[in-house]
Amino acid sequence: MAKTREIKKRIKAVGNIRRITKTMQMIATSKFAKAQQAAVAGKPYAETLFHLVADMSAAVTDVSHPLLGMGRRPGAGQPLTLILTSDRGLCGAYNSTVLRTAMAFLRSNAGAKDGRIELVGKKGAGFLRFQGVQVARQHTFGDKPGYEAVTALADEYMRAFAAGEISAVRIVYMKYISAGKQSPTVTQLLPFDARAITDAAKSQAVSRQPALAAEEGKKLGSNYEFSPGAAELLGELLPAAVKAVLFQMFNDAVVSEHVARMVAMKSATDNAGKAGKTLSRKYNRARQAQITTELTEIISGAQALE
């Protein structure tokens, strides 16, 4: 009797857990749909603006800009690494994957490890503390990072970079590719390396269909006539490109977090359902054994009275 009662309590507990994880899965799915819409809608603008500025800055040789890193003294400032993690857990291997990528980058880049390290989210703080990595500042943007808050951070980084306080800005985040694929990525935000971006775009164009490759090659090799002047245009477009790309990185990180949480909660719900079925079978077997024992006792008692 005690065994069946214990199994019934476990069945009830597993059922409660399954309801909770199912609810969290539905919430994560709803948030994912909204975050995916924002990330997908903003990606064409950010990528087009970034590649346009890269192509322009590569085409213009007689104009310099502080964000391009031209004319900087070697060793001026220290590199800054920003790691994007989540504020909440229960999102599978999302945070551990980002943090492992960050640690691999820091170990392979002594300058970055000795430089300034900043963190977004609460879940990476304990891991970095355990690894002996000192976090200079921790940011909190929540599930919906606002454009104003992100661009304010970008403005701060651009001012510090132009003043020589930092030598580079690199972002470690989870890049959203599709609902089934996200990739941990380390991206250099500053200085703006036009040649590297242009070469990467060309290599992507070559790997696609020939017609698309030819079309992108024409775009990358375009000649520009500037009105107003190139310096004024770069002065407006470069900061806008940096802000747009940083905001896109935050959007990618948020939608990747929701994907990971949605998958983790679905797995937890499925496992709870399987555990509930297993416990129900155990309960039925235990109850059947108990009934058989009681019937045997009744029959034995009746036979003893005859």
Q: Indicate the burial class of 235 (C-beta count within 10 angstroms; 0-12, 13-18, 19 or more).
A: middle
Residue 68 is given by DSSP the state G
Q: Tell me, what's the pLDDT at 306? A: 67
Residues in Cβ contact with 104 at an 8 Å cutoff, skipping those fewer than 6 apart: none
Q: In terms of CATH architecture, what is 56-260? A: 3-Layer(aba) Sandwich (3.40)
- Which among 98-102, 120-124, 146-150 has the top mean pLDDT? 98-102
Q: Hey, where are the domains in the chain?
A: 56-260
The single-letter code of the amino acid at 11 is I
Is beta strand 181-190 parallel, antiparallel or unpaired with respect to 116-120? unpaired
CB atoms near residue 78 (< 10 Å) = 14
pLDDT, tens digit, 9 for 90 and up, residues 181-194: 999 999 888 887 65
Percent of the chain with pLDDT over 70: 82
Contact 120, 92 (CB under 8 A): no
Q: Is the pLDDT of residue 120 over 90?
A: yes
Q: Residues 108-137: what's their mean pLDDT? A: 91
b/e sequence 93-118, b meaning 16+ C-beta within 10 Å: ebbebbbebbbebbeeeeebbebbbb
Convert the pLDDT of each residue in 42-101 to its tens digit. Answer: 888 888 887 777 777 776 666 677 787 665 565 668 899 999 999 988 999 999 999 999
Cα atoms in the 13 Å half-sphere on the side-chain side of 129: 7
